[in-house]
Amino acid sequence: ARVVALVPAAGRGVRLGAPIPKALVPVCGAPLLVHAVRGLLAAGCVDQVVVAAPPDMVDVVVDALSEFGPTVRVVPGGEERSDSVRLALDEAVAVHPDTRVVLVHDAARCFTPPEVIRGVVDAVRAGAPAVIPVLPVADTVKQVDSEGRVVATPDRSRLRVVQTPQGFDVDLLRRAHDQQDAPVTDDAGLVERLGEPVATVAGHPHALKITTPFDLVVAEALFSGAEL
């Protein structure tokens, strides 16, 4: 069964505040997106990668990814992350109708260890139609109202933070996106709305999402000496 990884990389990176789109920002000697694609291919279980690029920078992204050859395709992304995922998914299915497993992996989680990627793929192959990597929550989490007043304290032991890649049976992900009406940042959430089960596997602290300048400093400190 063919495994395709979709990499939404079309965001502007407003919270990072760099003059170029976040996926193209260099960290540890290469753009985030290049590290992300390397990591997916290094896992050894991904046959094809489809990247959704900022629509006005497709050429730049194609250039940045030229080292990978035809294993990596680039499409223009959309207005919202979910649009970018959908556009990449359409491309994947058009090019490879035999696709069975689809990973959706944020370019911003560019140092995700290969074992996390393999763990997700293995779980989908073993029969789970939707799989997400998660970590336990260290902080207590409060739910607040619009005035910032606490309305609930969920039991921390049952909370998880969610990482990527998220893995799906291709038909389920297509159904999930077909019934999507408002933008979402979490593909598994769409699957939940269909009433389908979502399984979890172990995530990893190194799969952190680079969102702010602080995260960039952390990533640089963690990975600049590493073999990447």
Contact positions vs ligand CTP (CB under 6 A) = 8-15, 22-23, 52, 77-81, 84, 106-108, 209, 211
Q: Which does 142 bind (CB under 5 to 8 A by kind): Mg ion, ligand CTP, none?
A: none
- Considering only residues 7 through 36, tell me which ones interact with Mg ion, judged by CB under 5 A: 11
Counting residues that bind Mg ion (by CB under 5 A) gives 1
Task: Pick what 107 binds: ligand CTP, Mg ion, none; C-beta below 5 to 8 Å, kind-dependent.
Answer: ligand CTP
Which distant-in-sequence residues (6+ apart) come within 8 Å of 56 by Cβ?
none
Taking CB atoms, the residue at the shortest distance from Mg ion is 11
169 is written with which tokens?
Answer: 């049976």
Nearer to ligand CTP, 86 or 123 (CB): 86
Which of ligand CTP, Mg ion, none is residue 160 near (CB under 5 to 8 Å by kind)?
none
Residues 204 and 115 sit within 8 Å (Cβ to Cβ): yes
Name the residue type at position 171.
Answer: D
Beta bridge pairs of residue 162: 134
Which CB sits closer to ligand CTP, 35 or 128?
35
122 or 186: whose CB is closer to ligand CTP? Answer: 186
Taking the C-alpha atoms of 208, 210, 213 and 217 in order, what is their torsion angle to the nearest 10 degrees? 50
Question: In whole angstroms, how close is the CB of 211 to ligand CTP at the nearest point?
Answer: 5
**CB count, 10 Å around CB of 123?**
19
CA distance 23 to 220: 15
Structure tokens at 175: 């159904």
Separation CA 206–CA 202 (nearest Å): 12
* Nearer to ligand CTP among residue 6 and residue 128 (C-beta): 6
Q: Which is nearer to ligand CTP, 76 or 113 (CB)?
A: 76
Give residues in contact with Mg ion (CB under 5 A): 11
